[in-house]
Amino acid sequence: MKVNIYYGGRGILDDPTLYVLDKMEEVLVELRVNVDRYNIYEHKSSISTLPQTMKDADGIILATTVEWLGIGGYMQQFLDACWLYGDKEKIAHTYMQPIVMSTTYGEREAELSLTNAWETLGGLPCNGLSGYVEDLVSFQMNQDYSLIIEKKAENLYRTISQKMKSLPTSNQAVTRSVLRTPQMELTPQESEQLSQYVSDDSYVRQQKEDIEQLAERFRGMMKKTAPDEGLAYVIDFESHFSGRSDVDVNYLIIIEGKKKPLCIQIHNGELVCHYGQQEHTDVYVKLTPEVLESIIGGRMTFQRAFMTGEMSAKGNFKTLRQLDELFTFTASQP
């Protein structure tokens, strides 16, 4: 039989969880169980590969210490790695015993969190151990506490060796029917390779550099195409201008999604149309590209778009009404 211990605390000397794990490991070794302990804080850069160490384990112990709130970051990262890269078929046949000691408040909630997480992963949880320790020396000297810890280790051994069954839980039912998070269908070998890539800093750094190069190239392509897209509306207005010489007016059309407004300047029968800013504006117009395309296509007028609320405007409304006279957009013939 083989049992792996995953310790999610910070490894400080007065951590009561370390004392509990030492006692449990002594009992398991006496029962001829092979025990491997993994201090997660020592594997900070390769946490994503730790789930692969469970391959030959019959059971595991998830141990952590509540110092201020919850199970802590290291244990959470390990459980995340189990969800992303762990062999779900192996987890489904692996017993887990949660061990949570607290120097503050919340050991029972943390123990329940570990149990719920393992059930959500599809694993087999065992009865765990949790407790509050105010003074470590007094806790270590108490023989009753030592006996409780030893019994918990024996219970874990008995549960694994006898492959004890338990009643189904709502967590498992919800996981099967509701919490169906889309995942890539990977073999255990592919999951192991992926987790190794994730933990490889040089590989991740190279991937980030490649993504940045692609993003920069894409931004360059967008800059090249942006003027052409903006020129389309300019050509439409220039080609449909009526050429009236008795009008002196400036329009500013704000098109949603465009970084710059469209400026329309008419003076002495000459039209200047461009994207940017202008010193003097008689009428401000704001609309969507869809509404503007309907107007250019002759399916709607500026006046109708304003009356129906599809276009907003500010300024001289008499000048606004002239837009339909200055630009004669007609529906294309089928």
pLDDT digits (tens, 9 = 90+) for 252-288: 999 998 888 999 999 888 899 999 888 888 999 999 9
> Can you tell me the mean pLDDT for 189-198?
63
pLDDT digits (tens, 9 = 90+) for 45-88: 889 999 999 999 999 999 999 999 899 999 999 999 999 889 98
* CATH 3.30.70.20, applies to 231-326: no
pLDDT for the residue 188? 61
Query: How far lies 253's CA from each of 169, 256, 259, 272, in Å?
Result: 61, 10, 12, 13
Residues 292, 233 contacting (CB under 8 angstroms): yes
What are the residue ranges spanned by the domains of the chain? 2-199, 231-326
The DSSP code sequence of 183-220 is -----HHHHHHHHHHHH-HHHHHHHHHHHHHHHHHHHH
Query: What's the pLDDT at 185?
Result: 57
- Residue 152 burial class via C-beta count within 10 angstroms: exposed 0-12, middle 13-18, buried 19 and up: buried
pLDDT in tens, 88-111: 899 999 999 999 999 999 999 999
221-264 per-position pLDDT tens digit: 655 544 445 576 898 899 999 888 788 999 999 999 888 899 99
pLDDT the model gives residue 73: 93
**What is the CATH code for 2-199?**
3.40.50.360
The pair of three-digit structure tokens given for residue 33, joined into one six-digit string: 């169980």
The predicted model gives 203-217 an average pLDDT of: 75
- How much is the pTM? 0.58
pLDDT band at 194 (very low <50, low <70, confident <90, very high): low
Residue 215 in this model has a pLDDT that exceeds 80: no
